[in-house]
Amino acid sequence: MKKLNSNDIAKLAGVSRSTVSRVINGYSNVPEDTKKRVMKIIKENHYYPLFSGQLLTGKQTNTIGFFWVTSGDIARDALSSSYFAHIIDAAAANGYLILSCIVPNLTEKKHINYVRRIFMQGRIDAGIFIGINNNEPLITEIIESGKIVGLFDYYHENENFKNCITVNFDRDSGEKSIDYLHSLGHTKIGITDGDMTRFSSVQRHESFLKGMMKHNIPIQNKWLRFGGITNDSGYEAANDLFNSCADDLPTAMCANNDAVAFGIYQACKERGLKIPEDISVIGMDGHPNGLFSYPSLTTIQFDFKEMFSSLVSRVIGAINQEENVANNDYICGKLIERHSCKNLKDTE
């Protein structure tokens, strides 16, 4: 069966092609009886206008680009992959589609041009980025060009672009971890920080130290490590600490995220260190595997559904030029107490 085009619809309705176009695009300068006749023909013949033609008229695509700047391994992680599901659900609830793109980095020219092209060709009404550094020249370029972007784990204190929508973790999650360990009697605390090009890692580092100073807990440089955001980086950081401080280990370790904490678990296992008997470990984020690790991981848990619903809904608000769309949102973490931290006060 031949697929009809706008010329065919115009002939069947007895109008010009331009009239069909005006009806499809919602122009008001079409007589009501003509509009009804054209719409009747369109429905009877199951006609849909070509998407490319709609783009030429400047219509919204009702599509948001989802740019995941990551390696394939991280994208398949249980927690990380849930980000994608939450974004799709939030977009669908608002009548939007998601165009998903996994990009290894935003530094190579081919990847930069790929992202630019999607924006400049008008395929999307806005773009959401996950996994970016807090200083990405391409992100700055896109923002300054006026395109609408939603950014997870990104914030610049002195910038206030209406087209830049962000969502972040709260700023005191590290302090909450220290508060909890202090309540259990820990004063010898090690910290494994994350990738310091990420906004959240910087915030958590500062928050860890703030908590230590609040409780007058000595900050021991020998127990501080800068790692990344993966199991491997946590494993390497913990091994380095264990090697250099074998005779004087901390009683507890704070991990930048749960994946890093799982790496610490592995390093402890290989060293014959028992958790929490020999060393306590507290994570961050609320990875689903934390409940099933042994022992189950105490963590600061975040509601990622709330996080990405907030980001998507505000991005759509910006697309629709709604008033009073909040540029920034911080999602609070909640302490989930399990079995990876020992109460030292019980042994006093």
Note if the bond before 218 is cis, omega within 30 degrees: no
Q: Does one domain contain both 339 and 327?
A: no
**CATH, residue 67:** 3.40.50.2300
Residue found under tokens 């974004």? 87
Q: What is the C-alpha separation between 30 and 33, in angstroms, rounded?
A: 8
Question: For position 177, what pLDDT does the model report?
Answer: 97
Q: Which residue has the tokens 């081919």?
A: 110
Reduced to 3 states (helix: H, G, I; strand: E, B; else coil), residue 191 is strand
Residue 216, token pair as written in the block = 């007058």
Task: Give the H or E element holding residue 130.
Answer: strand 126-130
Residue type, 51: F
Cβ–Cβ under 8 Å, residues 294 and 325 = no
List % helix, strand, coil for the chain (3-state, nearest 5). 45, 15, 40
**Same domain as 204, residue 96:** no
Indicate the pairing of strand 97-103 with strand 189-193: unpaired
pLDDT given for residue 256 in this prediction: 94
Contact (CB, 8 A) for 342 and 280: yes
Looking at residue 56, its pLDDT comes to: 46
Predicted pLDDT of residue 26:
64
Alpha-carbon distance values, 34 to 112, 117, 229 (Å):
47, 39, 61
| Whether residue 294 sits in one domain with residue 180 | yes
Number of compact structural domains in the chain: 3
Structural domain for 101, as ranges: 63-168+304-331
Both 43 and 90 in a single domain? Answer: no
Q: Does 182 lie in the same domain as 141? A: no
Kindly state whether residues 150 and 188 are assigned to the same domain.
no
The answer to whether position 79 is within a domain reads: yes
Confidence (pLDDT) at 43: 77
pTM (2 d.p.): 0.82
CB within 8 A of 153, min separation 6: which ones?
Answer: 130, 132, 134, 168, 169, 198, 199, 200
pLDDT score, position 72: 58
> What CA–CA distances, in Å, run from 269 to 12, 235, 272, 277, 279?
76, 11, 5, 12, 11
The pLDDT averaged over each successive group of 10 residues in the chain (348 residues) is 73 86 72 86 73 54 90 66 90 92 92 91 91 93 94 89 95 96 97 93 96 96 90 94 94 96 96 97 95 97 96 95 93 97 84
Query: Do 293 and 188 belong together in one domain?
Result: yes
Q: Are residues 204 and 274 in the same domain?
A: yes
Q: For residue 118, count other CB atoms closer than 10 A to its CB.
A: 16
Q: What pLDDT is attached to residue 1? A: 47
Q: Do 190 and 282 fall within a single domain?
A: yes
Where residue 124 falls (left for φ over 0; alpha for ψ -120 to 50; beta otherwise) is beta
- Please report whether residue 1 resides in a domain: no
Count of positions (residues) in the chain: 348
48 and 68 in one domain? no
Same domain (yes/no): 152, 47 = no
Is the Cβ–Cβ distance between 184 and 280 less than 8 Å? yes
